[in-house]
Amino acid sequence: MEWIIGTGLFVAAICVIEGMLLLLRPKWDPGSRVLGKRLERIAVTGFRNQTNDLIRRRTFSDITNVHALLSKIPVMHQLDDLVIKANSRLSLAAFLLISGVIAFSSYLILSAITRGHLMPVLFAMAAATTPFLYLLLKKRQRVAKFERQLPDALDLMARSLRAGHAFSGGLQMVAQEFDEPIGTEFMHVINEINFGASVDQALKNMTARVDAPDLKFFTVSVIIQRESGGNLADILENIARLMRERFKLLGKIKALSAEGRLSAIILLALPFIVVFALTLINGEYLQGLVHDPMGKVFIIIALCMMGLGAAVIRKMVNIRV
C-alpha cells in the first residue's frame, strides 16, 4: 500500500513540475516570445490601421518606397516574371542592384584603360544584362528539367487515380515523391488549393510560373475533363506517352543536326582563333586593319555577316517538335 501512495505522489509531483514549466515557457522560450510579440502587434495595429486579406502579394523589394517606385515602371513586371520563372530567392531589386554595380565597375575599369567614354558606356550597358542573362539561363534549365520529370509525374498521378485516390491526392503524391522543380511546383498547387483556390486556378498559376508547353497541355486537359467528364487516368497516360515520343523524336533530330551545329561553331570561332594567333605571332600585322577607317568598316561588316550566318544556321538546325 505504501508503494502505491509513493508512486502516486511521485506522478503528481512530476505533473505539477511539468505544468509549471508549461506555464513559464512563454517567458524563457525565444520562439514563444517572438510569436507573442507578433500577435500583440497584430491585435493592436493590424485590424485598426490595415486591411488584411488572404491574397499573397508579390513585391519587387522589401523596402516600401523602392517597391512603389519600381511598380510604376511597366518593364519591371516582365523582369519580375523572369525572376519568378527562374525560382530565384533574390528579389528584383537585388538583381537591379547587382546589375548597377556590375555596370558601374565595368565603366570605371574600361574608362581607366581606354581613357574614353563611348566604348566603356557600351560595354557597361552590355555587362549590366549579365544577371538577367543568368536568370534566363536558369529559367531554361529549370523548364528543361521540369519537362523531363513531367511524364513520370503524370504516370504516377494516373496510377493513383486508378488506385482510387482523388485528383488532389495524386498532386500530393507528386509533390512528395519528386524533387525540384516539379515537386516544389506541385506543392505550391496543393498549398493554394488548401488556402481556398480552385483546382483550375491553381493549375493556371503553375502554368504561369513554369513556361513549359507540355504543362499547358496537362492543365488544359484537366480543366476540360473537369467540365465535360471522362477518364482522367487514361488522359494523363496518353499525355505522358505523347511527351515521351516527342522527346525521342527530338533526340533523333538533335543527332541528325549535330554536324550542322558543329560546323556553325567551327565557322564562327575560326576568325577569332586566327586573329588571336596572328596577334601572338606578329602583333603589328593587324594594326593597319584596326587603325584604318576602312578597316574598321570591314570589321563591322564581317561581324554583321557572321551574326547573320549564325542566325541562318540556327534556324536550319533548330527544329521545333
Per residue in 180-203, pLDDT (tens digit) is 889 989 999 999 998 888 888 999
Range of the domain at 15: 2-49
Q: What pLDDT, on a 0 to 100 scale, did the predictor assign at position 46?
A: 46
Query: Which of left, alpha, beta for 46 (phi over 0: left; psi -120 to 50: alpha)?
Result: alpha
104 and 13 co-located in one domain: no
Q: What pLDDT, on a 0 to 100 scale, did the predictor assign at position 190?
A: 92
C-alpha separations of 43 from 23, 29, 61, 200 in Å: 22, 21, 26, 35
- What CATH number is associated with residue 160? 1.20.81.30
Q: Does residue 74 lie within any of the structural domains?
A: yes
Q: Does residue 200 lie within any of the structural domains?
A: yes
Last residue of a domain, one of 196, 229, 251: 251
Q: Does residue 83 lie within any of the structural domains?
A: yes
Q: Does residue 138 lie within any of the structural domains?
A: no
Burial 31-59 (b: 16+ CB within 10 A, else e): eeeeeeeeeeeeeeeeeeeeeeeeeeeeb
Q: What pLDDT, on a 0 to 100 scale, did the predictor assign at position 4?
A: 58
Q: Does residue 133 lie within any of the structural domains?
A: no
E strand or H helix at 20:
helix 2-28
Residue 117 is classified by DSSP as S
Q: Which residues of the chain have pLDDT under 50?
A: 44-55
Q: How many domains does the chain have?
A: 4
Q: What pLDDT, on a 0 to 100 scale, did the predictor assign at position 296?
A: 79
Do 117 and 111 meet the contact criterion of CB atoms below 8 Å apart?
A: yes
Q: What pLDDT, on a 0 to 100 scale, did the predictor assign at position 48?
A: 44
- What are the two backbone dihedrals, phi and then psi, of residue 179, each rounded to the nearest 5 degrees? -95, -170
